[in-house]
Amino acid sequence: MNQLLLIGNSRWHWAEQSGQGLRCWHATAPADVSSVQPALRAWAAVGQVPPALLAAPVRRIGLVDVPLRGLPPWLGIDRALVGWRAWQQQGKGVLVADAGTALSLTRIDAGGHFAGGLISAGVALQLRALGAATAALPCLAYDAPQGSSSERWPTTTVEAMHTGCLQATAAAVAAAWRDLQAQPGAGVSQLWLTGGDAERLAPLLHAQQLKPHLAPDLVMEALAALPVVGLLR
């Protein structure tokens, strides 16, 4: 059993130990959950969990397994995992921007305490909301649109929506980071960027003179590195 699973809000995230380290990938939920159970070492979830997986004799990772202090019981396991791994790797206080279905900003102080955060709609969720709440704008699927971040002022509706939502998300990350930097004694030394939209947001943050540490698969690396799992150091 060398596979790990995080059930997200829109996709299932997988990782397995290989000769090159940790191999990560993403997919839709399988039709038959029982077919994946024999390879599973551990799993966690923020999205809907199939009853068959709940009944399986495979370890479910919860907040109690994440070695951070002051974790509130309502915190999503994905936020706890990425916050812990970034803090562990950095050795100092961090702000982690997880850009997935939701944009979650999680702050961990230098002593490894959860220090709050922010949550807003991610890029794909913004696009769906625009299509659902307006009469003229289309309902768009967000799947790596080409050219959406290259034009600062697009001339088509679709590209204007893609670029506008990307820029709004990047602006939220930048504003949170600058707010912390303006606070005396905030103790946050590095911005980490992860999640499905991380690579698309990184150039926009660089354009704003931010230098995030890009780690698209941080949550799966965190799962693998947990002491109770032990696939990574």
pLDDT, residue 148, reads 45
* The pTM of the whole model exceeds 0.75: yes
- Residue 233: the pLDDT is 67
Number of Cβ within 10 Å of residue 101's Cβ equals: 22
Look up residue 187 and give its two tokens. Answer: 């103790």
pLDDT digits (tens, 9 = 90+) for 11-38: 999 999 887 789 999 999 888 888 888 8
78 included as an active-site residue: yes
Q: Does the domain made of 69-216 have the CATH classification 3.40.50.300?
A: no
| One-character DSSP codes across 131-162 | HHH-SSS-----S--TTTTT-SS-SSHHHHHH
Compute the distance between CA of residue 151 and CA of residue 172 in angstroms, rounded to an integer: 20
Per-residue pLDDT of the chain (233 residues; tens, 9 = 90+): 689 999 998 899 999 988 778 999 999 988 888 888 888 999 999 999 999 899 888 999 999 999 999 999 999 999 999 999 999 999 999 999 999 999 999 999 999 999 999 999 999 999 999 999 999 999 887 654 444 446 789 999 999 999 999 999 999 999 999 999 998 888 899 999 999 999 999 999 999 999 999 999 999 999 999 999 988 76
Structure tokens at 110: 């230098």
Q: Which of 65, 78, 98, 197 is catalytic?
A: 78
* Distances, alpha carbon 152 to alpha carbons 116, 149, 159, 220, in Å: 32, 7, 10, 33
Alpha helices in the chain (DSSP H): 51-54, 77-90, 123-133, 157-181, 198-207, 218-225
Spell out the domain ranges in the chain.
3-63, 69-216
Please report where in the chains the tokens 């709440």 appear, as a residue: 133
